[in-house]
Amino acid sequence: MSKNVLVLADVREQKLRNVSFEALAAARMVAEGGQITAAVFGSFAKDLVDPLAHYGADRVITVLNPELDQYTTDAYFQAFKKVIEHVQPDVILTGHTAVGRDVSPRVAARLGTGLISDCTNVELVNGQIVFTRPIYAGKAFVKKVVKDGIVFATLRPNNIAAGEPDGNRTAQVEELQVDFAPDSLRTLVKDIVKKSAGGVDLSEARIIVSGGRGVKSAEGFKPLQELADVLGGAVGASRGACDSGYCDYALQIGQTGKVVTPDLYIACGISGAIQHLAGMSNSKVIVAINKDPEAPIFQVADYGIVGDLFEVVPLLTEEFKKL
Ligand code: FAD
C-alpha cells in the first residue's frame, strides 16, 4: 500500500546536510509509490528546493519565517507540527542529528505517536517498514516495526546511502505560512561560536583520524591533524584525550560523544573502551595504531599497526602525500 512520507530537511548554515538526502532515499524505499514531501525551514528555504527535488522529493513545503533561520526548539516544534498537520503523512523521517534528536520526540509526544530513534537501516518486508537500531551501546541491533498509527523515526547519519541526484527532477513547491506568538519563542540565538574539527564536519567526514590518551598532549594532535589534512578528513578524539585536556570535547567520539560512520577511521593511541566503540564501530574500515598488542581496539580493527603513533602517523602522512 502506498504511503505518504514526510522528510524534515536538516539544515546547517543554510545548507542541506547529507542526512536529508539519506532520509529521502529511505523515504523512496518505503513509500511504495506514495508521495514524498520534504519540509525545509528558514527565509533561505527556497534556495534548497532544487537539491531536495533532485534527491527524490516530489513536493517541497517551505516555511520562510526568519525565526527559523537558526534552530530553536520552540520555533521548529511549532513549524514541524503545523507541516505534519498539513501533510497528514503516514511516515515521518528526520535525521538523528542535534535537530532531529531534539524536535522529533517533542512532536511525537504531542501527536501521541511513538518514535523509533537512531535507526541505522530501513527496509520494506512484506509491505511492513522494518527499522534497525543499535542497543546496548552498539553491542547488538534490534529490528522494530510500528503496528498502527504514524510511523516516526530518526535516521543515524551516514548509514543509509543517499541516491544519485537527478538534475532533471522537479518538485511541486508549496509555501506554508507559520506565525509565532511572540511569547511562544522562549529562546533567542544571539551568537554562534563554532567549534569544528578543522575544515571538515566530524559527523559527516568520510575519513577520521582520531587520537586518544596515547597522543599525550595537545601538541601530540598535530601529526594527526597533518594526516587528516592530507587525506581530506577530520580529527576526532576519545574521551580520554578530551578529559586530559588535549583537545576540545567537540571532537569526542563515543557513547557520550558523536556517533560517526566514516569510510575510514584511524584510531591512534586509543585503547578501544566499549564507550568509544559505541561511537565508531560501524565505520567501514578501521585502522588501529597502538603500542600495546593486547589493546581491545585491535579486536574491532580491520588493520592493526602495533607501534608508536609518533613514528607511524608521520610515515603514513609522507606516504599518502606521494599519492
Ligand atoms: P586509554 O584507555 O588510556 O588508552 C590509551 C591507549 O594509548 C593505550 O591503549 C596505550 O597502549 C596507547 N598508547 C600510549 N602511548 C602510545 C603511543 N605512543 N603510540 C601508540 N599507542 C599508544 N570514552 C570515549 O572515548 N567516548 C565516549 O563517549 C565515552 N563515554 C563514556 C561514558 C561513560 C558513562 C563512561 C563511564 C566512560 C566513557 N568513556 C568514553 C571513557 C572510556 O571508558 C575510556 O576511559 C576512554 O575511551 C579511554 O580513552 P583512551 O582510549 O584514549 O585512553
How many whole angstroms separate alpha carbon 231 and alpha carbon 227?
6
Q: Which one-letter DSSP state was computed for residue 242?
A: H
pLDDT tens, 94-145? 999 999 999 999 999 999 999 999 999 999 999 999 999 998 877 789 999 9
- Please state the atom number of ligand 1 nearest to the C-alpha of residue 271: 9
pLDDT tens by residue, 73-84: 999 999 999 999
Q: Are strands 264-268 and 285-290 parallel, antiparallel or unpaired?
A: parallel
Taking all residues of the chain, what is their mean pLDDT, rounded to a whole number? 95
The annotation status of 256 as a binding-site residue, yes or no, is yes
- Does the structure show a pLDDT above 60 at 198? no
Vertex 137: Cα angle to 131 and 141 (nearest 5): 30
What's the ipTM?
0.99
Query: Ligand 1 centre and the CA of 231: distance in Å?
Result: 24
| 308-317: pLDDT as tens digits | 999 999 999 9
Query: What 3-state class would DSSP assign to 65?
Result: coil
Distance 279 CA to ligand 1 centre (A): 13
Q: What is the value of pTM for the model shown?
A: 0.82
- DSSP string across 128-180: EEEEEEEEGGGTEEEEE---SS-EEEEE-TTSS------TT---EEEE-----
Percent of the chain with pLDDT over 70: 98
Task: Give residue ranges with CB within 6 A of ligand 1.
Answer: 212-214, 238-241, 252, 254-257, 269-271, 273, 275-276, 279, 289-292, 295, 308-310
156 is in an annotated binding site: no
Residue 182: pLDDT band with limits 50, 70, 90 = confident
Whole-number Å distance between alpha carbons of 136 and 274 = 10
What b-and-e string marks burial along 46-70, b requiring 16 or more CB atoms within 10 Å of the CB?
eebbbbbbbbbbbbbbbbbbebbbb
